[in-house]
């Protein structure tokens, strides 16, 4: 299996809802990432997990809460989001997060709409 | 701070014509550079990386540290090359990729 799988593909939620995005990989990669991509913009890094520990948080608002239950799974818990949080959320993984081992494999994304 | 500049939002070329997608970066240390591509309705994927010095799908890119550039080139464009191309820079020891704003390549007959 050489893919990163993201669910759901599409999600519509209200500002008071709690929802989660899920990401899974079975390539034995030890680094996993969340990126946010607004329309016609490049991906922007949100979080990096390395060996199931949060290594980077790019000053993301606390209404986004990442979780890495094990080396294959990455979740992004969403609560009290704003309409401007509507975007494509990309999950990615890499063999490791150190230079030289950091070719990213991306998932297809979860398109989030906040009403 | 590191920055990646892709000056063209859209590059339109005829099939068979040469292609050059420009990428300039700003970083004072030793950069690690990548080109990622997103074909229509497909996920973002790696096209090539500078340390590999390889040709993928006929594309090559050479790191020019003097000009701080990593332009993507192909001698003869094909229709299937139409896609969004992102140049990305990794600095330091951690995988913090900084993406350029992307260039959409349109290859027409």
The 8-class DSSP code of residue B47 comes to E
DSSP label of A56? E
Query: Given this model, what pLDDT does residue A16 score?
Result: 87
Of the candidate ranges A26-30, B57-61, B89-93, the one whose mean pLDDT is the lowest: B89-93
**pLDDT score recorded for residue B58:** 93
What is the least distance, in Å, from the CA of A32 to any CA of chain B?
A: 10
Average confidence (pLDDT) over B85-91: 91
Chain A residue nearest residue B51, CA to CA: A100
- pLDDT value of residue A96: 79
Beta bridge partners of A11: A112
**Rounded to 5 degrees, what angle do the CA atoms A47, A52, A53 make?**
60
Q: Which residues pair with B25 in a beta bridge?
A: B4
The pLDDT tens digits for A50-94 are 999 999 899 999 999 999 999 999 999 999 999 999 999 999 999
From B83's Cα to the closest Cα of chain A, the distance in A is: 13
Q: Is A107 within 8 Å of B34 when comparing Cβ atoms?
A: no
pLDDT for B78 beyond 60: yes
Specify the pLDDT at position A80: 93
DSSP state, B80?
G
HSE, CB side, 13 Å, CA atoms: give it for residue B70: 27
What pLDDT does residue A34 have?
97
Tell me the mean pLDDT in the region B74-100.
Answer: 89
Query: Rounded to an integer, what is the distance from CA A83 to the centroid of its chain?
Result: 18
The chain-wide mean pLDDT, for chain A, equals 92
Q: Is the model more confident about B101 or about B50?
A: B101
The strand pair at A73-79 and A10-13 is best described as: unpaired
Cβ of B49 and A104 within 8 Å? no
Contact B86 A42 (CB under 8 A): yes
**Chain B residues in contact with A48 (beta carbon < 8 A):** 94-96
Pairwise CB contact (< 8 Å): B93 & A99? yes
Rounded Cα gap, residues B72 and B27, in angstroms:
19
How many Å apart are CA B26 and CA B75, to the nearest integer? Answer: 27
| Closest to A74 measured CA to CA, from A98, A44, A101, A94 | A94
Average pLDDT value over all residues in chain B: 92
Residue B91 pLDDT > 80: no
B107 close to B21: Cβ distance less than 8 angstroms: no
Tens digits of per-residue pLDDT, A23-45? 999 999 999 999 999 998 999 99
Is the predicted pLDDT of residue A101 greater than 80, yes or no? no
Q: Closest Cα to residue B93, out of A14, A31, A86, A62? A: A31
Phi, psi of A85 (to 5 degrees): -80, -5
- Residue A99: what pLDDT? 60
- Count A/B contacts: CB-CB distance under 8 Å: 54
* pLDDT at residue B13 greater than cutoff 60: yes
Contacts of A61 (CB under 8 A, 6+ apart): none
Rounded Cα–Cα distance for residues A27 and A70 (Å): 13
**Chain B residue with the nearest C-alpha to that of A43:** B99
- pLDDT over 70 at B94, yes or no: no
Q: Which residues of A touch B34 (CB under 8 A)?
A: 103
- Whether residues A98 and B94 touch (CB distance < 8 A) is answered with yes
pLDDT at site B47: 95
Q: Is the pLDDT of residue A100 over 90?
A: no
């Amino acid at each position: 299996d050489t893919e990163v799988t993201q669910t759901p593909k599409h999600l519509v939620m209200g500002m008071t809802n709690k929802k989660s995005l899920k990401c899974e990989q079975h390539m034995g990669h030890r680094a996993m990432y969340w990126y946010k991509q607004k329309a016609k913009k490049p991906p922007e890094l949100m979080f990096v997990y390395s060996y199931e520990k949060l290594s980077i948080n790019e000053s993301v608002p606390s209404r986004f809460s990442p979780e890495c239950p094990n080396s294959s799974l990455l979740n992004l818990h969403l609560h009290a989001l704003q309409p401007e949080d509507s975007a494509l959320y990309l999950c990615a993984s890499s063999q490791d997060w150190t230079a030289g081992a950091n070719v990213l494999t991306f998932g297809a994304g979860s398109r989030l709409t906040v009403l | 701070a590191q920055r990646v500049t892709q000056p063209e939002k859209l590059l339109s070329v005829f099939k068979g014509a040469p292609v050059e997608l420009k990428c300039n970066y700003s970083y004072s240390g030793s950069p690690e550079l990548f080109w990622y591509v997103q074909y229509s309705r497909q996920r973002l994927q790696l096209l090539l990386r500078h340390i590999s010095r390889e040709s993928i799908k006929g594309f090559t890119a050479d790191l020019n540290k003097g000009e701080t550039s990593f332009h993507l080139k192909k001698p003869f464009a094909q229709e299937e090359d139409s896609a969004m191309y992102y140049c990305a820079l990794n600095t330091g020891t951690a995988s913090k990729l900084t993406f350029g704003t992307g260039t959409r390549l349109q290859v027409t007959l």
